[in-house]
Each structure stands twice: as structure tokens, then as C-alpha cells.
Structure 1
């Protein structure tokens, strides 16, 4: 079984004109269940090199906080923040954990929506990117072997929850759908990222 963690960056919902966040990114990491405990321990070990065990086990890690050295990272040096980043990226390589993503440039996406659906019609970039990420995860699992299955785990998505569920149902079960997934099981699980180990 493969655990597929999905999270986003630059989510401004239907506001596609936000100059501070012009790009939306939906990404997935695929962790085989046999590697899960090792990956979790490795992440904790990296953080424990800079923080108390209590803090490193409870903190929610955001790359932007690490990059800007804010919140928990405000007392570490720039070089230390790069070291943490590099060690975590090296873990992805060492454990052969793929990162699958779909990027949407919001300004172009807004023009696309207007040209194809008419003025005033807006689609949440999360909803547009999601099926493409699922299809790529499915392709990755199929390449590993027909028996390789994946279970999707999401950070809580209140505004897109129903659309994501509907998309998953269509990809998995709708015989009339052109887009299909065969190796993703169940309906997807939404968790509070503050309480989930690999989201922290």
C-alpha cells in the first residue's frame, strides 16, 4: 500500500488576481507503507537537531516558514535553514519518494476560463489541478506494478471537499469517464495537518 499525501501552495480560492500568490501548486508525495515509519523517524531526527523533542514532534512544518525563517525557525540561521531543507530533500531521494505536482499560473488560468467558459465563470485551481495529479499518481503506481495501490490523504479542504470527492468517484467508478484511475482506492481521507505525522 502506498500513502499519497496531497497538499497545496498558493491557494487563494477563486481569487485569481492575488499578486502575492500568482501561482497555485498541488503536489503529492507517495510513501510506500513499508517506508512510512523510517521516513517519519528521519524527519523527526532532522528537526530534533535544531528543536526540543517536544516541539519537533508537535510543530507543523511549512516550507515558507523555513525559507523566511519565521515562527519556529526565527532563531535559526540562514545556513541552518538551508541544511534542514537539504536534509529533507535528500530523504526524498534516499527513500525514492516521488513528488508529483500540477502548477497553475493563475493569470493564464483566469484567461483560459474566460475564453472557454465565458466571463464571470471561475473554477478553483485546486479542482482543476486535482484530476491531473491523480492521473499521474495512478501512472506512477501502475509502473511499479498492477498490484500497487494508493490511498489519498489530504490536508483538510473545506471549500473543495465535495468537488474533490465527486472527482475521485468519477475517476474511479464512472464508466463513461474518459479519465480513469485503477490503482487509487477508497475515497480519500481528510486529516487535520496539525495532527498528522507527515504533514507536520
Structure 2
């Protein structure tokens, strides 16, 4: 059996690690069996038709009432998000993600490298998160005795080059042994992929949930909303315990500075 990991990110500010509005970066997505791909795609198409959506769905546009969602009521927007997230529950799709608290990421580089070295390295959180997503996905495939492919939005192709993983050796990351993932850099246009759009919805709301731990001035109503959406998909998250003794940077990412 072959599986696809549809991958997207949320909270990406590149090398700007001081954006108070985006203190957290998440990279992740949903794992889909090739046998169920068509059915899931049709489910999303049906939801789009129900809500008369012809364009690409962006989670942030729903939340901020942009584009076609400008005149939508809160109830209507919430119902759309719930229906999309419930596809993940209905088909028992695994969710894989890795989160980077940007202030911790910055602290690691400031502690281990000089200012001149940091200017040369320029490693965005995406690169590190990508390496961990691969490791988590690899273990998931081992559990399922499957092979897999990673499918990303083509706009990320300039971030992920084939030599990406070599860069990580500079920051003492061990070599990543990948056997089950047969294609790591397959890119498609998110406008043409309902599954990338589903990943976008999923990852965005994971980010909104964990953001509550590191972002100030979030209203009680917003917290309630964030928790509501995360609880829908919480049991679908695939958890892999990573060993900080094998990955020095994890000690920094897990601490509160």
C-alpha cells in the first residue's frame, strides 16, 4: 500500500524570528491512502459545492473574513471548517506535524554560533521542521508497513532543495535514514489540490491551538474557538517521541526561554 503525506505550513515568517504576531511555526499535514484518495477528494468537492466555493480554500481567509468569506457569518464559517476537519476524523487520517517556537529557535543559534556565522547559515524554521516531519512520517510508514510520498505546495519548492538535509549537519543534526519515503520533494499547485487545501485547514488550526501557549492577548472567545477546532482532530495526531539526546536543538525547542 502507498500513502501520500499532503504537507503545508502555517506561521511562516522566513528568517524573521521576532514577529510578535507569528511566534510559532508549524509544518505538517494529513496522510492519505492511495485507495481512499478519490473518495476524500470527492468529499471535499461536495463540501465546496454545498457552500458554492469555486476557488482555493485558505484557512486564514476564512478566519479573517477575506475574499469570498467576507460576508459570511461566524456560524457559517465555523460549520465549513468543522465539515472539512471531520473528513480527517471520518477517514481516520493520521496527522503529522512539527512545531517550532521561534524565540527558542533563535536562542539556539545565538547560543551555538557567532553573529557572523548566523548571517552565513540563514536556516529558516521550515528546513528544521521538514527534517523532523520526514522522521515522524518514516516511523508512521514503518508502523503501517507502507511506502510513502511527500506532496508539498509548489510555492515551497524554493525553500526545499535536494541538499536541504545536508545543511542540518551544520547544526549537529544526525543523518536522517529514510527507507520508506520514496519521494520527498513532489510539488503541486495548491489551487489544483483539494488535499493540500485540507492540509492547510488542518495545520492552520493546529497552529492556532498551540499559539495560545506563546502568544499574548488572545481573547477568551478566540481561545474557545481554537480549542473547539483542535479537539475535533486531536485524536488523529500521530505522536512520535523524539530523543533530545540525539537532537541537540530539541532541548532548546522544548524549553521556555
Structure with larger RCO (C-alpha < 8 A, sep 6+): 2
- Tell whether the 8 Å contact from 2:4 to 2:31 is kept in structure 1 after alignment: yes
Q: Which residue does 1:77 correspond to in 2?
A: 73
Q: Which residue does 1:173 correspond to in 2?
A: none
Judge which range, 152-161 or 24-33, deviates more.
152-161
Question: Where does 1:137-148 land on structure 2 (aligned, <5 Å)?
Answer: 137-145=137-145, 148=146
Q: Which residue does 1:44 correspond to in 2?
A: 45
Equivalences, count: 186
SS at match of 2:32: strand
SS at match of 1:194: helix
- Which structure 2 residue ranges, 5 or more long, are not aligned? 168-173, 198-257
State the Cα distance separating 1:169 from its structure 2 match. 8.5
Supply the distance in 1 between the matched residues of 2:184 and 2:138 (Cα, whole angstroms): 14
Deviations 1:91-135 (A, max 9, x none): 101111111111111111111111122335142000011110011
Q: Which residue does 2:252 correspond to in 1?
A: none
State the Cα distance separating 1:158 from its structure 2 match. 4.1
State the Cα distance separating 1:168 from its structure 2 match. 6.1
Supply the distance in 2 between the matched residues of 1:109 and 1:99 (Cα, whole angstroms): 23
User: Aligned pair in 2 of structure 1 residues 76, 29: CA closer, same or farther (>3 Å)?
Assistant: same
Question: Where does 1:5-154 land on structure 2 (aligned, <5 Å)?
Answer: 5-51=6-52, 55=54, 59-120=55-116, 121=118, 122-145=122-145, 148-154=146-152
Kindly report the root-mean-square deviation, in angstroms, between the aligned alpha carbons of the 2 structures. Answer: 2.0
- Tell whether the 8 Å contact from 1:61 to 1:199 is kept in structure 2 after alignment: no
SS at match of 1:90: helix
Q: Which residue does 2:176 correspond to in 1?
A: 179
